[in-house]
Amino acid sequence: MSGTKQGFWSIVRREIVRMQSRPLYGLSMIFAPLFCFVFFTSLMREGLPESLPAGVVDEDNTPVSRSILRNLDSYQQTEIIRQYSSFAEAREAMQKNEIYGFFYIPKGTQEKASSQEQPKISIYTNATYLIPSSLLYRDMKTMATMASAAVGREVLLAKGASMDQAMGFLQPIKMDMRPLGNPWLNYNVYLSNTMLPAVLALMILMVTCFSIHTELKDGTSREWLSMSGDNILKAVSAKLFPQTMVFSLMALIYLVILYGWLSFPHHNGFWPMFAAAELLILASQGFAVFMASAIPSLRWSLSLCTLWGVLSIPISGFSFPVMGMPAPLQALSYMFPLRYYFLIYVDQALNGIPLVYSAWYYVAMMAFIILPLVDISLLRKAAHEYTYLP
């Protein structure tokens, strides 16, 4: 203890040396986030999946069924790759993952058509794979309706109706869907905007907790604390300061990737999202310090931080809305910094509404930063007395 320098900056310098001494820090603070940034944005670079493989089954095999097949024009997102001879064969292809869906024209279609009954096409999709299944359904439904309308429209037009009248009869009420903020239904926008900060937040939670508790484990915590003049707040903030800088750089990188390079919607400009990202970093650090102080065991506090980081991904509600979750989990979702980040993103980047609507979310994130004040004295005590148990 004697001979070591005191003060904020000497702890910062000490921490930088510690971080450089182990490749683990570089791997988890720089490599892991960067890998995920590149992975997610490149994985879904198409935005919306195109040419999803689908099939057809024509068990009727008559002029009528063949004319239906001819009218199933391909759409951008659907590609009919094969015709199967039976329903069973198509189902097997689906189970083998060759196709995500198929059209089925049953036997007797022509007979029905000629006896003035309505023939029916069935659309089957494999909802085990939810995204391709939903997209195929949308396309295949349109294809089937268009094929049907094509037949009806021809008759109407031949009888002297105008195009306007024909459509007015075939489909009197039409829906005009206007998706706000993401009119392309781009999955990259939908997922990456939350996935990238989620991975960063997960790493922050773990690294923060790990780096504090290794001081205890390695028995260096007394030295660390004495450098701050026994001021635990100073000790912790100086220790985390260089990490905050590295994570801020990472945040800057993903913001530039998302809003600069890929030009995802950011209707209120760069700064509201930059502020949200900075707050997410500080809030995650705050939460991790809170956990590290509350539980004086590296393994258990690290386990809880990990659980929190992983759980924040589904519970932030970006893939499955929070309103659809059971009530206890809805309440729990307020305990996750990422939830607020997601809400800010929706307001500020996707929908671009006035900042005042998101004010409370920013405030909530700030609350996480001061959360450690509750129990940090426990950490001070532990730093003095703790001995590591594996």
Among positions 359-378, residues that touch another protein (CB under 8 A) are none
Q: For the segment 132-161, give every residue that binds another protein (CB under 8 A).
A: 132-134, 137-138, 141, 144-145, 147-149, 151-152, 155-156, 159-161
Among 1, 21, 175, 263, binds another protein (CB under 8 A): 175
Alpha-carbon gap, residue 266 to 98, rounded angstroms: 38
Among 357, 359, 367, 373, binds another protein (CB under 8 A): 357
Query: Quick check: 28 binds another protein (CB under 8 A)?
Result: yes
Q: How far is the CB of 277 from another protein (least distance, A)?
A: 18
Q: Smaller CB distance to another protein: residue 342 or 368?
A: 342
Q: Smaller CB distance to another protein: residue 49 or 234?
A: 49
DSSP string, 16-32: HHHHHH-HHHHIIIIIH
Q: Smaller CB distance to another protein: residue 3 or 324?
A: 324
The residue whose two tokens read 């794979």 is 129
Q: For the segment 233-272, give every residue that binds another protein (CB under 8 A).
A: none
- Among 384, 349, 319, 373, smallest CA distance to 258 is for 349
Radius of gyration, CA atoms only, the chain: 29
Q: Smaller CB distance to another protein: residue 1 or 177?
A: 177
Q: How far is the CB of 373 from another protein (least distance, A)?
A: 26
CB distance 11 to 226 below 8 Å: no
Alpha-carbon gap, residue 60 to 43, rounded angstroms: 41
Only segment of 131-139, 239-247, 271-279, 379-387 that touches another protein (CB under 8 A)? 131-139
Q: List C-alpha distances in Å: 375 to 207, 299, 301, 319, 364.
A: 19, 19, 14, 34, 19
- Among 196, 389, 374, smallest CA distance to 291 is for 374
Residue 86: count of CB within 10 angstroms of its CB = 11
Q: How far is the CB of 275 from another protein (least distance, A)?
A: 19
Among 13, 34, 82, 187, binds another protein (CB under 8 A): 187
Q: List C-alpha distances in Å: 323 to 315, 330, 331, 348.
A: 11, 7, 10, 21
- Among 301, 293, 303, 336, smallest CA distance to 318 is for 336
Q: For the segment 301-330, give every residue that binds another protein (CB under 8 A).
A: 302-303, 306, 309-311, 313-315, 317-321, 323-326, 329
Q: How far is the CB of 143 from another protein (least distance, A)?
A: 9
Q: For the segment 61-90, give every residue that binds another protein (CB under 8 A).
A: 68
Q: How far is the CB of 127 from another protein (least distance, A)?
A: 3
β-sheet bridge partners, residue 82: 55
